[in-house]
Amino acid sequence: MSVLRHDWQNPEIEALLQLPFNDLLFQAHSVHRRHFDPNAVQVSTLLSIKTGACPEDCKYCSQSGHYNTGLEKEKLLQLEKVLAEAETAKARGATRFCMGAAWKHPSRKDFPLVLEMVKGVRALGLETCMTLGQLTEEQTSALAEAGLDYYNHNLDTSREYYDKIITTRHFDERLDTLAHVRAAGIKVCSGGIVGMGESARDRVGLLRELANLPQHPESVPINNLVKIKGTPLENVEDLDPFDFVRVIAVARILMPASYVRLSAGREQMNEQLQALCFFAGANSIFYGDRLLTTSNPLASSDQALFARLGLVPEGSQPSALPHQGATRQFHDAMTAS
């Protein structure tokens, strides 16, 4: 098994990113096989439980109240609606149900309902994940007591590029929230977004920050920017697809025991690019037609791609199933009702 390091330096990460493409993918895939079943993918579903009117000014976000993106704001969903969505996700093969609210931090008024959502979803037999913005120690402890499994709080980008993307929150405040989450015994889900006009050095900085946390995030979502009309980044230049695969591969090498999630931006990726990402070490996806407010590949498209690649949802099959058996198992897990 690979040694888990927390002392990576920029030159080392830069050297990995600059490897010949085949050499980098071979190294990343070799690390991946030492820690995971290479043909199993963890499947999560993401639901927006409170949409729009966020006070943050994240330049990529359709939900920011600072920009006119045409998104209508919605109040916090009722518990019954959330549980119904979770039941549907479970029936389709999801093992983790993630709930996101467009807040800078949870309000005192809404927080008790959030806790009931965690308890209710967990009672259905699903892993629970929340992303609610900045947390206090008290709120984090309450979420842990309610049974929250994961908390998502992305670093978004490098420390150096951060204030070019967000000015309403400091980079260290994100690290403080992650420290509260870890101290409470909740697993950490933290990654970032690439393709926001950042430099290769900024991608190195983001990966270094994540890999040098005292404990690696259990889940590392790597998002490829979805350009939203009305946001300051709507016309940013596209990231080279091979550079995106390189980020996935280096994340796998730096954090060998973490799940690396191929997250936002999949709808703009062709099947060949997604396959390269899976080979490079991505082993988690969001399944379903929506990611908070942006679209995601159709469920039927994911089923077809997984069948062609011989991939199956984690936990739905014994290791090393023959291709046809794996295909049938995936279809059964993803279409069960």
Please give the positions annotated as active site.
Answer: 54, 58, 61, 98, 129, 189, 261
Residue 58: phi and psi, rounded to 5, are: -55, 120
Secondary structure of 251-317 as H, E, C letters: HHHHCCCCEEEECCCHHHCCHHHHHHHHHHCCCEEECCCEECCEECCCHHHHHHHHHHHCCEECCCC
Measure the CA–CA gap between 247 and 225, rounded to whole angstroms: 13
Helix (H) or strand (E) holding 189: strand 187-189
Residue 47's CB is within 10 A of a number of other CB atoms, namely: 21
Measure the CA–CA gap between 310 and 290, rounded to whole angstroms: 24
Strands 290-291 and 127-131: unpaired
Measure the CA–CA gap between 117 and 99, rounded to whole angstroms: 9
The residue whose two tokens read 């469920």 is 299
> Positive or negative CA dihedral for 52, 53, 56, 58?
positive
Measure the CA–CA gap between 58 and 55, rounded to whole angstroms: 9
